[in-house]
Structure 1
């Protein structure tokens, strides 16, 4: 595992690393200059490297970017908000190298004070970049079909699927669907379904006693399994009532150890989000804390209370 940082001759270093690729190149950049990088991408594609490019769909890339080609896959990202950008600047090479930093892959970037960090064989980190890359491709495919509903208070709404705990001989569980207001956490019960062995069916439970020839193989298998779980979650909820699900979570205690040690008298809970639709990622938090019981209205506590005895 090594890392190095570059402040000069960055363009040359990027091109050198691209030419070193043997299997795959995944580029995710806000700006990219076609005159500089199109010949490089075509050359490495011709030697059998699988090349994928994600870029922000802005005026500069439309005029001066890398044109579409059957030799590589390209994805132009439109953002949900008009003033926002797909502002990443990273590249994954052969699932072994990550290039990341401030440097835009543009013609003028070399005139600015910029940097890149080149990280090799840090597979835990590489998997995180691969996840972001895959999420952005999914976001690109589904962008035109998305729209954000509004709550009566004017805030955004999202639909949350809640996976209940399994119990009994047949691992029975209850799956609930709720509509949740982002800002004021107004919630509305949509429906529920009763399942058996659901977590096994979705791939959330699996054996961990596998042997891998290398850390890279282990990372790639973990990544593949995670993507399969995401696909299973989406497929499962799509097969239900027809309500589009934007996030999937489960109710979990946040102070289990403290409670077991007797340091705290009660268990406190949150809704842990297992998956978020990329389109709603800036809206939906990674976890939703309990907001306490309300006598007047249904709230987050209502979701938690429906899953556990408080």
Structure 2
């Protein structure tokens, strides 16, 4: 019986973390900014010797220099994260034990945090939430790999009367037109969009059949679904991760472009518009954003952000007719 349980602690937090870690039977995923390794490493080493698979994501800085005490120990994987800049610091504090218990809260696993006013929440068998945290863990792994192999994309647009290109950072967005006809034909565009000034350059166009159902699964598991037990959570998680890889492979194969986000042009004020209160307002709405660009690409880019974005949206809308 997968009964849900919840508990919260404001004192003796380190004790409660260690107590639950030592109950692990199969796996531990730790994603914590800073860790006092001389406290936690002996426990994690013993757990690994018992056959528990331990993965640890942490910030790659001087505060975590003692992480090397767990290097080259079988069953333990260390993943130091390098921030691109201070504002993108990996500041998570969560742990997943046996894919059935989640520890999260404000508490860094550091000795100094013991004297602060902190908290942790421990959730047992909350599989929908655990699924979300598993995605965050995998996304951070992808972020780390992307950082090591980063390729800077720059905007080449020039303003009227200016001979020099913009040179701001840019990203690639797949914009999917609404499907039409019995074959659900969609026009797909790939645009390079400037992060600062919202310049846009069209890179590629294709016509796809049954794209929404075959690739994106619109109306399927992009919608939130309830996860009742660990097995169904694992199936959902696997399906969702496969979808991300399908999206990347599709745009690489069809457009020869590494895609960073996928979206569509949609109205943002349907209720007000249909009631006659406001004129229609449109935005480029993202359905998926690559982890490495999650803090860069907004989930909505509005038509008023630039003339180029208005062109992107209008072209996507017109392709549906």
Return the TM-score normalized by structure 2.
0.84
The verdict on how the C-alpha distance between 1:206 and 1:275 changes in structure 2, with shifts beyond 3 A counting, is closer
State the shift of 1:156 in Å. 2.2
Q: What is the count of residue pairs matched by the alignment? A: 303
CA distance in 1, matches of 2:146, 2:64: 21
Deviations 1:217-276 (A, max 9, x none): 44333322221111111111122343322211122222334445x445654322121222
Gaps of 5+ in 1: none
Matches within 5 A, 1:1-310: 1-64=4-67, 67-68=70-71, 69-81=73-85, 84-151=88-155, 152-205=165-218, 214-260=228-274, 262-264=275-277, 266-291=279-304, 294=307, 299-309=308-318
Where does residue 162 of structure 2 map in the other structure? none
CA distance in 2, matches of 1:115, 1:272: 35
CA distance in 2, matches of 1:200, 1:265: 33
State the shift of 1:176 in Å. 0.4
State the shift of 1:148 in Å. 3.1
Gaps of 5+ in 2: 156-164
CA distance in 2, matches of 1:236, 1:95: 30
Deviations 1:261-296 (A, max 9, x none): x445654322121222222221111121222784xx
Report the aligned-residue RMSD. Answer: 2.7
The verdict on how the C-alpha distance between 1:150 and 1:47 changes in structure 2, with shifts beyond 3 A counting, is same
CA distance in 2, matches of 1:283, 1:42: 37
Where does residue 161 of structure 2 map in the other structure? none
SS in 2 for 1:193: strand
CA distance in 1, matches of 2:106, 2:291: 23
State the shift of 1:16 in Å. 0.7
The verdict on how the C-alpha distance between 1:43 and 1:293 changes in structure 2, with shifts beyond 3 A counting, is closer
SS in 2 for 1:240: helix
